[in-house]
Amino acid sequence: MQPYLFPYIGYFQLINAVDKFVIYDDVNFINKGWINRNHILVNNEKHLFTLPLKKSGQNKLIKDIEIHDPEEWKIKFLKTIETSYKHSEYFKNTFEMISDILNSVDNTISGFNVYCLKIVMKYLDLRTEIVESSEVYCNSDLRSQERILDICSKENATGYFNLPGGADLYSHEIFNSKGITLKFLMPDNFTYRQFDDNFTDSLSIIDVLMFNSKERVRELLNKYVLS
């Protein structure tokens, strides 16, 4: 998976479901994706927040893109989080964790997002190994499915899991011919109480952590279907 910014719970369900999670950081950046954007609640409505980047574009690798004025953004973002969620049940612990994440000194979007993932994983007691593709596999000359198959081969993998967005990119028949089971993880529909009885879904993990205990979030991590 590409390194997403405070991703939704399905991303963490995928991390929890596998033995090794590969951060795909040496592929081209995608504009208007989830690498530097996500949703939280602001005034009880879905709000898109964006981490500003320096000269980002689809001809640059994710790992090479830097954050624009990171300190200024971090101050503003932390204030937004505090104002929006200060009355949520699990605000204190979650706010402290976010503050810790924002102390990251890595000013690349990939490095920052990986640091974010690891802090959230530590909080949730997730032990999955995280690997960055740029540091291990040396196969950036390959594309799409062939590159994934090469990574699986180098890892002696018997299974490859992805989220539903990858269903049109990969062939079960080709993976099976290589002795690799291809599965897609679909999060179950579930709700939790936010500020009122109206539930807003598909938000950042920040929202999930603000309204649910660590034990409850760990339960939610197992609410998915593999197909």
User: Which tens digit of pLDDT belongs to each residue from 71-94?
Assistant: 999 999 999 999 999 999 999 999
How far does Cα 40 stand from its chain's mean position?
A: 14
* Mean pLDDT confidence for 121-136: 96
Both tokens of 178, joined, read 């290589």
Domain that holds residue 136: 9-226
- In the chain, the N- to C-terminal Cα span, in Å, equals 18
Report yes or no on 38 lying in a domain.
yes
| Composition of the chain by helix, strand, coil, percent to 5 | 40, 20, 40
In sequence order, what are the beta bridge partners of 22?
131
Residue 54 domain-assigned (yes or no): yes
Judge whether residue 56 has pLDDT over 90.
Answer: no
In a domain, 1, yes or no: no
- pLDDT at residue number 58: 74
**3 in any annotated domain:** no
Which residue(s) pair with 39 in the sheet?
Answer: 48
Does residue 4 belong to any structural domain of this protein?
A: no
Tell me the pLDDT band of 175, cut-offs 50, 70 and 90. Answer: very high
What percent of the chain shows pLDDT beyond 70? Answer: 100
CA distance 200 to 51: 22
Could you give the CA distance from residue 33 to residue 161 in angstroms, rounded to a whole number?
20
DSSP 3-state of 183: strand
Q: Name the domain count of the chain.
A: 1
Locus of tokens 């709700």: 191
Mean pLDDT of 15-38: 95
- Cα separation, 198 vs 170, in Å, equals 37
Strands 129-132 and 159-162: unpaired
